[in-house]
Amino acid sequence: MKKPLLLIIGILLLDQIVKFWVKTHMYLGEEIRFADWAIIHFTENNGMAFGMEFGGEYGKVFLTSFRILFVVAIFFYLKKAVAENANKLYIYCIAMVIAGAAGNIIDSVFYGKFFSGSEFQIASFMPAQGYASWMHGRVVDMFYFPILSGHFPEWFPLWGGDEFVFFRPVFNVADASISVSVILMILFQKRIFNLENIQESNESQPENKEEPTPSEEA
């Protein structure tokens, strides 16, 4: 359990250090461009993924509470997986999901109280009054990689002529941790869930042939 815990702590620390730096050095909407396709773009997510809202103020509390319960439940599942000596890659993937979810929970629970607003100014840490109440903080996002951009051809259904950008979402270390863990589980699902051994075992078993009946022998 030691190594998965260290992985969780490491991802959480990296996530919060990056967010803290962005929050205390940039104002909302500010960008630092390393290249046309590699940009630090400070934005804040006020609801669910990709900026969607969920039921107003009470929805925000419900969503944050649900995330906390999810992290607690999956943490106990991680302990169970370690105790049962599950695949190590699978264990690390679960740990990455926990770290990613917990990283964004910290923003939602504490940032509203711990920081002032970032609109047209640099936020201050531990102000006399924060920009929101407990569990109403906004998740800090910053990584933006518009690797490809252009316009759909006019003949393209629904989006003909519209602009497209790949990759459009702005994300953070916590989001990346969850995404990478899911990709790893998809790519290595045979190894993680022992599907290769099951397939080899099935292939090695002789086919069952029906014994001929006495009438057929005659």
- Between CA 88 and CA 75 the distance in angstroms is 15
pLDDT on residue 203 = 56
Residue in this structure with the two tokens 């815990």, named with its chain if needed:
5
Q: Is residue 36 among the annotated active site residues? A: no
- CB contact at 8 A, 82 and 91: yes
- pLDDT score for 68: 95
**Is residue 214 assigned to a domain?**
no
Which residue range is the domain that position 192 belongs to?
A: 2-201
Q: Kindly name the residue from 15, 36, 107, 141 that is annotated as catalytic.
A: 141
d(CA 15, CA 33): 20
Per-residue confidence (pLDDT) for residue 87, from 0 to 100: 94
| Cα distance between residue 158 and residue 202, in whole Å | 46
Task: Tell me what pLDDT residue 180 has.
Answer: 97
Amino acid (1-letter code) at residue 186: I
| Domain count for the chain | 1
Flag whether 182 is in a domain: yes
**In-domain check, residue 211:** no
31-35/148-151 β-pairing: unpaired
- pLDDT of res. 50: 47
pLDDT value, residue 146? 94
Q: Output the pLDDT for position 56.
A: 64
216 part of a folded domain: no
Q: Is 15 a known active-site residue? A: no
Query: What sections of the chain are H helices per DSSP?
Result: 2-25, 56-83, 88-106, 112-114, 173-187, 189-192, 195-204, 214-217
DSSP-derived secondary structure letter, 50: G
The answer to whether residue 209 is domain-embedded is: no
pLDDT truncated to tens, each residue of the chain (218 aa)?
Answer: 899 999 999 999 999 999 999 999 999 999 999 999 999 999 998 765 544 555 566 778 888 899 999 999 999 999 999 999 999 999 999 999 999 999 999 999 999 999 999 998 999 999 999 999 999 999 999 999 999 888 888 898 888 888 888 888 999 999 999 999 999 999 999 988 875 555 555 555 655 555 555 555 54
